[in-house]
Amino acid sequence: MKKFSTAALLLALSAGFGGMAHAQAVKTMRCEFLPNAPDQHVVVRGDTLWGISGQFLQHPWCWPQVWGLNQDQIRNPHWIYPGQIVYFDRVNGRLRLGKSAGEPGVVKLSPQTRVQGIGRDAITAISTDAIGPFLSQPLIVEDDELKNSPHIVAVQDGHLNLGKGDKAYVRGDLADASAFQVFRPGNPLKDPDTGKVIANEALYLGTLKLERRGKTADEAATFSVIDTKEEMQVGDRIIPRPVEPILNYVPHAPATEVNARVVSVYGGVATAAQNQILSINRGKADNIDIGTVLQLYRFGKTVKDPADHNKKVKLPDEQYGTLFIFRVFNHISYGLIMEVQNTVDIGDIARSPE
């Protein structure tokens, strides 16, 4: 079966991606169809963009190129639903979206925005099983948000810790919110390149529900504990619970060249494996967005030349895995390890796909 070169895909890409920066970033990417790619795939509930693209492409992050998507469609790909058909147009080296399976007169379509039911039935970029709890937890609290937030001043009946169903008494500005998440300052995250602290991780403890506001400025508000991940205590801080986002960004290469380092593995361990979560020292300020895919590398060792012991030779960096970015802050991003052939260590490299 014929493979389609990067040049052919870039020609298709020009119809959708207008930005020169993005086109430049993907010029060197090896975007080829699999030799055994199927002629079509009927979308079923539970499918993901990553899984479907993996049936057709050697690299799932090449999906935007073969669809000719623009940046808005990457950020809001609410156009693939169960029952529709993904066609492989072998002549033009493109993927096409057809009408629902079984409908008469199936035609090949370009991705379109679906107005009704957006996000509820559309397939997601990746499975949310591993990252679901992290989508509505800040992880990183910036700009003294935690320091200046309301805090627990007392616990029901003088207990030391709070459990599910207990009452907590809170002081601070609650604004108009009624549901809150509870946090405790966690570990500082240091940049492996500079050694400087670039963010502070927040330890998520659970959720509270407002039962009664204070009637005067000096009276505490009463909350009940809805659920706990860790025990809550006096002094812990609360932040309004955000609306849970729908993770539905197309997996894609970054718009500009990225050369990041692994800062931490979530949970405080030193190494990570597939389906675990880690952070890197790049974020919004570095043009990282949700759905960005990076390749994981380990630094190549420096060895002595056996023919000349006075000279040293650096071995190439070893590429061993793939990272899907799903949460982005100013200088830190969190990613799910999608595919690895080795363990991931703090300090390893996360680069733009080649």
Is the pLDDT reported for residue 7 higher than 70? no
pLDDT at 29: 57
Residue 193 is which amino acid?
A: D
pLDDT at 34: 93
* 3-class SS letters over 59-81: CHHHHHHHHCCCHHHHHCCCCCC
Q: How many residues does the chain have?
A: 354
Give tens-digit pLDDT for 201-216. Answer: 888 899 999 999 999 9
Quote the CA–CA distance of 99 and 117 in Å, as a whole number.
17
Please indicate, yes or no, if residue 29 is contained in any of the structural domains: yes
Domain closes at, from 193, 208, 240: 240
Supply the pTM of this predicted model. 0.76
On whether both 24 and 51 belong to a single domain, the answer is: yes
Give tens-digit pLDDT for 66-116. Answer: 887 777 777 766 678 889 999 998 888 888 888 655 554 444 444 443 333
Is the pLDDT reported for residue 338 higher than 80? yes
Q: Which of 71, 105, 70 is nearest to 85 (CA)?
A: 105
On whether both 55 and 146 belong to a single domain, the answer is: no
Please indicate, yes or no, if residue 338 is contained in any of the structural domains: yes
Mean pLDDT, the chain, integer: 81
Distance separating the N- and C-terminal Cα atoms of the chain: 23
On whether both 215 and 277 belong to a single domain, the answer is: no
pLDDT bracket for residue 30 (50, 70, 90)? low
Structural tokens at position 232 = 């809550």
Residue 279 is which amino acid?
A: S
Q: For the chain, what is the domain count?
A: 3
Domain residues for 79?
6-109
Which residue would you say has higher pLDDT here, 6 or 169?
169
| Average pLDDT estimate for 312-316 | 91
8 A C-beta contact, residue 200 and residue 140: yes
On whether both 37 and 105 belong to a single domain, the answer is: yes
On whether both 236 and 309 belong to a single domain, the answer is: no
Chain-centroid distance of CA 182 in Å reads 22
